[in-house]
A and B are shown apart, each in its own frame.
Chain A
């Protein structure tokens, strides 16, 4: 197998909700072990885009996808591919923190393994500890592992969700506006965490906060009305945009 610099390659990716097309011919290569930010005004399709990367788009009734998404060189939309298995290789963090409400902190983190049949207590213990440490939450919750996940603050809940996603040892972290419900302090923590994760994981983050994209990402993609307008090094996109639309968006003329 040829080792590629790219974790994902999308080829003519189109996506629909019913008859409404939300993504148009997206061709994009996403670098491994780097942070790629997807920016654009509301409704431009950025959330749909990352949901196509782990086949979450298709769980919405009437949603449709065409084109290819190569993950490690393999088309995840191939008929032989089991979507459930593919999702285990990608962690996802959502806009609003969504810990499982009836589970303890421990069970939240262990859920991905436990519900897939891992019962070995020692293994679970070590995975929970490792994941919570990775998500920089361990020191805050290590004495309260049996408390409800919902009892944590919003920022802690979001880091708990990251720990939960990291526990299944994914290769990729997909984040859909992970800070939009958080205050600046909690946001700063999550951003530090994203930078740390980029050393071992491929991170794709959707954000409507351009400063955030500039701060955390190595590459930035600008989407507008379902089309990929511009994609490149974050520095180039923000300092020297080639497309007029990109320039207008990042200077705040619209959006």
Chain B
């Protein structure tokens, strides 16, 4: 066998290995999706989407209040977390000559690795102790989970915008802030959107920090200083319940959670679609 043959065999072998690894990685993903769709889809009906959490003994009931609550909590968290994350990312990428940025980047990475329950406790001591269990406290804790993710991805995608493009804008006499907003950021829209989505997906499914900042709530939204219901907590509470109909609600809530994240993905992608 000559060299060429050996090389071809090695190449083939490598290809098979890579495909196998991909398959192994995809199996759990699809089996989870399959399971959730199989068990969750039957419980999603008009009741599920319009009725709040059932009480013990009540027939029917749904997860409409949890969908509402999750949207409110995630929305509020994004209002705090997305702007802060993007601005920090801009600072790290565009003003990185500042010595401070080394420290910021380091602490940001540390924050990214923080256990979410610790962040929940932080929200508890800072907000819950003064105004009580509330959606505000939960949004605050979730925002803190979002910030390092958005910051990191924003920094990374801004660094991908070529320096020559920034120079062109500066040479035109465009001030630095304007260059960053209109030239650099608009060139990195898509990547920043991906970062935001990643963080949304992460916080939408968080349960521990939500549990310590607003607890479990089975009613509709009742004000920002009150808790709201939550899909992730629905899954937790219903899945361990003794009633068959409640366990079905847990599966339904799981499926809706996944669909919400998927929906957010589609919407954000459509809005940040590149013109060229």
Binding site for B on A (CB under 8 A): 54, 56, 59, 61, 84-92, 94, 96, 98-102, 104, 111-112, 115-116, 147-148, 150-151, 161, 164-165, 168
Contacts and interface: CB of A to CB of B under 8 A. Distances in A.
Given A102-B275, A104-B276, A151-B276, 19 more contacts: A56-B171, A84-B175, A88-B173, A89-B173, A91-B171, A91-B172, A94-B164, A94-B168, A96-B164, A100-B168, A100-B169, A101-B276, A102-B186, A112-B173, A115-B179, A147-B276, A148-B276, A150-B276, A168-B173
30 contacts: A54-B171, A56-B170, A86-B173, A87-B172, A88-B172, A88-B173, A92-B171, A94-B164, A94-B168, A98-B162, A98-B165, A100-B187, A102-B186, A102-B187, A102-B276, A104-B275, A111-B172, A111-B183, A115-B169, A115-B172, A115-B174, A115-B178, A115-B183, A116-B174, A148-B275, A150-B276, A164-B168, A165-B171, A165-B172, A168-B173
Contact of A98 (B164, B179, B274, B275): B164
Contacts of B173: 84-89, 112, 116, 168
A171 to B, nearest CB: 12
Question: Interface majority SS on B: helix, strand, loop or mixed?
Answer: helix
Closest 10 CB pairs of A and B: A88-B173, A148-B276, A92-B171, A87-B173, A112-B172, A98-B164, A61-B97, A98-B168, A115-B174, A102-B187
A178 B58 CA distance: 77
Interface residues of B, number: 23
A127 B179 CA distance: 21
A102 B97 contact: no
Question: Interface majority SS on A: helix, strand, loop or mixed?
Answer: mixed
B260 to A, nearest CB: 29
Contact of B167 (A56, A84, A86, A168): A56
